[in-house]
Structure formats: C-alpha cells, structure tokens
Structure 1
C-alpha cells in the first residue's frame, strides 16, 4: 500500500505544473482582456472629449478651394471605382461584387460624415 500511495503522490507532484498551466493561462487571458477593455473605453472617452471640445474656425479662400478640390478628386475616384464595379457586376463577371460593395460603403461613410457635419450643432452653456 505504501508504494501505491507513493506512486500517486509522485504522479501528483509530476503533473502539478501541467494541471496548473491552463488555470494560469486563463487568468492571464482574463487580465489581458480587462486591460484591453479598459484601454478601449479610455480611448473612446478621450476621442469623444476631443471631438466635443473641437472649435471650428473659418477658412480663408485658399484653404476652402484646396478642400473642395480634394473632395472633388476623391468623389471622382469613388465614382470611377463605383462605375467600374457596377459595370463589371452588370456583366456578371466573377469577383466584381466587392468593387460595388466597397464603393457603396465608401459613399455611405462619406454621406454619414457629411450628415454629421451639416446637422451637428453645439449648444453653448452661456
């Protein structure tokens, strides 16, 4: 009986590290998850605070012309990609759907940003 108990004790001692490893890995993963959640939450709060504190200033004619030129060039590029994607999709070519989908997402994001810029108003506490 002594040898049997010694064998069980020895087996328990030999496998203690292997049995404890999954628990320590799970605890480490939980800690990393909590830290990532905290960092994401902190980053979101900082971004919201910075957006909220932004004060627009009027642009002069040069800046406005440059901005409108960049917007027009980007709109032309998106229209070109959308046109090619829709044309290939209409011809039922394989692999053309991602072009149309990417163009639709780009247009949607641009419209979302423009909607925010047009309708965002800041109420002053004065």
Structure 2
C-alpha cells in the first residue's frame, strides 16, 4: 500500500465518525419531527371533538358571580398591562410593541370564547 493510499485510508477511518454523525442527527431530527407532527394532529383532532361535544349548561347565581369576578379581575390585569404597554409605545419605546400585539390577541381570544358560547347554545337547540 502506497503512502497516498494509506493517507486516504487513514483520513477515511479518522473522519468516519464525523461523517456519520450529521446523518444520524438528521435522521433523529426527522423522527422527532414526525412524532411531533403526529402528536399535534392527534391533539387538534381530539380538541376539535371535545369542543364539538361540549354543551353549555345553566349555572346558578354563585357560579355566575364567581365567573364574572374572575373575568373582571383578568380584564383589569389585561387593561393594566395594555395601558402600560401602549403608554410606552406612545413614548416611542422600541420594545413595547409586543404589548399591543398581545392585547390584540387577548381581545381576539375573548371574542372567540364569547362567540362560541353564544352559538354553541344555539346549536344545542336544533
């Protein structure tokens, strides 16, 4: 065996682990990605089935008062955070835009929940 062939063989043996590692890591990452996609799809299907099967029932006065109190406290907290964020944004602070975006998301989620409650009770009456 010549020196060049020996050098190439030695280089091949030395770098074998380095060449195999990226392929192994990529295969592991692909497997994890498949599992996460499957888990996400399964969770979305189960959540959609549970939401579709949910039927609102009348609450007594104590439950309604507790719910309204919790909603009022949460709304006060969101209003405080949004107020501070928008005040900083108005003062041209560069890091306060996420407060306004979070507020828009919070208001959107609240509207979605309320719309679901209104239309879910209507759907149950059909």
TM-score (norm 1): 0.75
- In 2, distance between residues paired with 1:84 and 1:10? 65
Question: What CA distance in whole angstroms lies between the structure 2 residues aligned with 1:10 and 1:108?
Answer: 63
d(CA) in 1 for partners of 2:12, 2:98: 57
1:11-53 per-position Cα deviation (integer Å, ceiling 9, x unaligned): 3233222222211111111111111111111111111122222
Compute the RMSD of aligned alpha carbons.
Answer: 2.7
Query: CA 1:14 to 1:48, structure 2 compared with 1: closer, same or farther past 3 Å?
Result: same
Distance 1:8 1:84 in 2: 66
Misfit runs of 4+, over 6 Å? none
Instruction: Using CA pairs under 8 Å that are at least 6 residues apart, name the structure with larger relative contact order, 1 or 2.
Output: 2
Distance 1:8 1:64, change over 3 A: same
DSSP-derived class of the 1:58 partner: coil
Determine if the alignment matches structure 1 residue 70 to structure 2 residue 70.
Answer: yes
Query: 1:122 corresponds to which residue?
Result: 123
Structure 1 stretches of 5 or more lacking a match? none
Aligned length: 123
Alignment pair present for 1:8 and 2:8: yes
Q: Which residue of 2 aligns with 1:57?
A: 57
Any gaps of 5 or more consecutive residues in structure 2? none
